[in-house]
Chain A
Amino acid sequence: METEPLHGYEIAKRIEEESNGLLKFTLASLYPMLYSLEKRGLVAGSWETTKAGRKRRLYRLTSAGKKQLQPLKKEWGRFFAALHRLAGVTHA
């Protein structure tokens, strides 16, 4: 969502693909989170109609969401680096 708007199914699919199947978001876990983020103004949803005539909702990161994402990314980076150090795992 940081780079382009995505719809729910696409978000779940991307997460699964980019984590090599390690992280899976089902419908039941994805939508409550998306609606919560939307309520907090971090993502914004808008309806679009596909060429096939199907309606779907696209989510994009709002400027507030982008602002919040940057420090989180740094924090996660530090956290995973610490885990790597603790576990003694290094990149191949």
Chain B
Amino acid sequence: MPDWEKRVRELQKTNRCEPRLRTEHVAEIAGHLEEVYLSQLQGGVDSANAEKRALSEVQDWRVFCTKIFEAQREETMGEMIKKLWLPSLVILILSIAGISGALVNGMFPHGFALNSQVALLLYVPWIFGSFALGILGALCARRIGAGQGATALLFLLPACTLIALFLAWPPVTWSLVSLYPGRLVAYLAECLTMWGVIPGVATLVGVMTARKMSRKSAS
């Protein structure tokens, strides 16, 4: 008896199906192929031909995978956005909680203070935390059925909010602008890089790592 789940995964791989079928779909399709195979055997067909006939149920695996993906996506773009809101919000809240902890401990939202040991002890773990949050968010999003493309966008809301937050944070922004008017561009660039781009990239790397992990486990 062929291992049908393995066969389905192999067929997806050899036909370069993208996006790949979900684990439960692989199991269900493998079950269907097995039923066809067994019914052929019962009808007196030899095992090699029974396998061929079962596999002939799908002519083009790439088209099939795309159709399944589209069927899942059908009328659910709004649903997908809803699904992404929750993990995005969790990442954002935890990220802000982490940075608040850093701020309470005397770290200012600009790069000048990063020379201090406290800032490095808080900033670096926060960046690693953003990476971990990316993994967590992507795993949550996949679990509630968000597609891979949509999951990759998870980092956007936290990154954009952090950038907006630090750019629009009046006490620090305006005091620094008034103190160092000539350094405004450098200050903004520093803020964007340290408090938006770097954590955003760390979250994105986390999301991509989770995607890679789930792909590996699926194959």
Q: Please give the residue numbers on chain A whose beta carbons come within 8 Å of chain B beta carbons, in ascending order.
A: 7-9, 26-28, 30-33, 35-36, 39-40, 54-57
Docked CA distance A29–B64 (Å): 8
CB distance from B218 to the nearest CB of A (A): 17
For A57, the chain B residues whose CB sits under 8 A away are: 24, 28, 31
Q: Decide yes or no: A39 and B34 within 8 Å by CB, A8-B28, A28-B58, A56-B28 being known contacts.
A: no
Q: Do the beta carbons of A27 and B33 come within 8 Å of each other? A: yes
Q: Do the beta carbons of B68 and A32 come within 8 Å of each other? A: yes
CB distance from B191 to the nearest CB of A (A): 43
Q: Do the beta carbons of B31 and A39 come within 8 Å of each other? A: no
Q: Do the beta carbons of A26 and B57 come within 8 Å of each other? A: yes
Q: Decide yes or no: A39 and B72 within 8 Å by CB, A8-B28, A9-B36, A27-B33 being known contacts.
A: yes
The A contact surface, by secondary structure, is helix
Interface residues in B, total, Cβ within 8 A: 25
Interface contacts (Cβ under 8 Å), in number, total 60
Docked CA distance A35–B66 (Å): 12
Other-chain residue from B24, B57, B60, B63 in contact with A27 (beta carbon distance below 8 A): B57
Q: Do the beta carbons of A39 and B74 come within 8 Å of each other? A: yes
Docked CA distance A54–B29 (Å): 13
Docked CA distance A32–B71 (Å): 6
The chain A residue with its CB closest to the CB of B33 is A27
Docked CA distance A11–B35 (Å): 12
Between-chain CB contacts (< 8 Å), 23 pairs: A8-B32, A9-B35, A9-B36, A27-B29, A27-B32, A27-B36, A27-B58, A28-B57, A28-B63, A30-B32, A31-B68, A32-B68, A32-B70, A35-B25, A35-B68, A36-B71, A40-B74, A40-B75, A55-B31, A56-B28, A57-B24, A57-B28, A57-B31
Other-chain residue from B32, B63, B68, B74 in contact with A9 (beta carbon distance below 8 A): B32
Q: Decide yes or no: A32 and B31 within 8 Å by CB, A27-B57, A40-B74 being known contacts.
A: no
B67 within 8 A of A: yes
Docked CA distance A57–B32 (Å): 10
The 7 closest A-B pairs by CB, nearest first: A27-B57, A36-B71, A9-B35, A32-B67, A35-B71, A32-B71, A28-B58
